[in-house]
Amino acid sequence: MVPIEVLISSSAAYALSRIKAPGRGAIMNFIVFLHTFPGVLMLIALLYLLVQMGLYGKGVLTLIGVALVKVALDVPMSVWILKGFFDGIPWELEWAALVDGCSKFQVWKSVLLHIIKPGISAIAIFSFMSGWGEWLIAYIYLRVPEYYTFPVLLSSLVYEFRFVNWGLLAAMSLFYIIPTLIMYALTQKTLLKLQLVGAVKG
């Protein structure tokens, strides 16, 4: 889920930042609107879409469908963030790479993405945390216990009308936070760089 969101967001943000096309401002306003629009209001429409695509009630396919829905809901904010990073890169740097023989794709892949690595790390962390902690969409769309996500599984241990196994709940909660701690440890240096970038720009 994270690589898909990073790929889509970085591509769209680059296009919106560099291509001076008519209606670009309207597109950015629409992206902001999509980010502010409550995703819960689209659950029925998204469910209908998953049914039409054959991704509902199909086990693993439903899990993939839930991941795609989550990516679609998170992409607008990621595009908005990365566009700000692309806007901060001087055109001269891109022109210099083009003069040296790089294609547009090579400039985007080898030069610009490397420069905006702090921004990519930020949206990667956001995407991971948002997807890992997602409960509502998974609870509504995933009806087979074998494919429950961790938040749904934890809630099922508490909400069922029976004796709560607190030992099992505590153990599963510990496993639930381990990936978050690992993600933080891997991205701690990048987050510090992001803070420095904000301090310099501010």
Q: Which two tokens stand for residue 7?
A: 């790929």
Specify the CATH number for the domain of residue 143.
1.10.3720.10
Mean pLDDT estimate for the chain:
83
Residue 202: predicted pLDDT: 47
Let me know: does 76 contact 35? Beta carbons within 8 Å: yes
**Residues 6+ positions from 108 with CB-CB distance below 8 Å:** 10, 11, 14
Residue 146: predicted pLDDT: 83
Q: Which two tokens stand for residue 63?
A: 């899990």
**C-alpha closest to that of 71 among 155, 137, 144, 148:** 137
Q: Is the pLDDT of residue 94 over 60?
A: yes
Give me the number of domains the chain comprises: 1
Question: Could you give the 3-state DSSP secondary structure of residue 98?
Answer: helix
Q: Is the pLDDT of residue 86 over 80?
A: yes
Residue-range definition of the domain harbouring residue 44: 2-201
Residue 106: predicted pLDDT: 86
Confidence of residue 24 (pLDDT cuts 50, 70, 90): confident
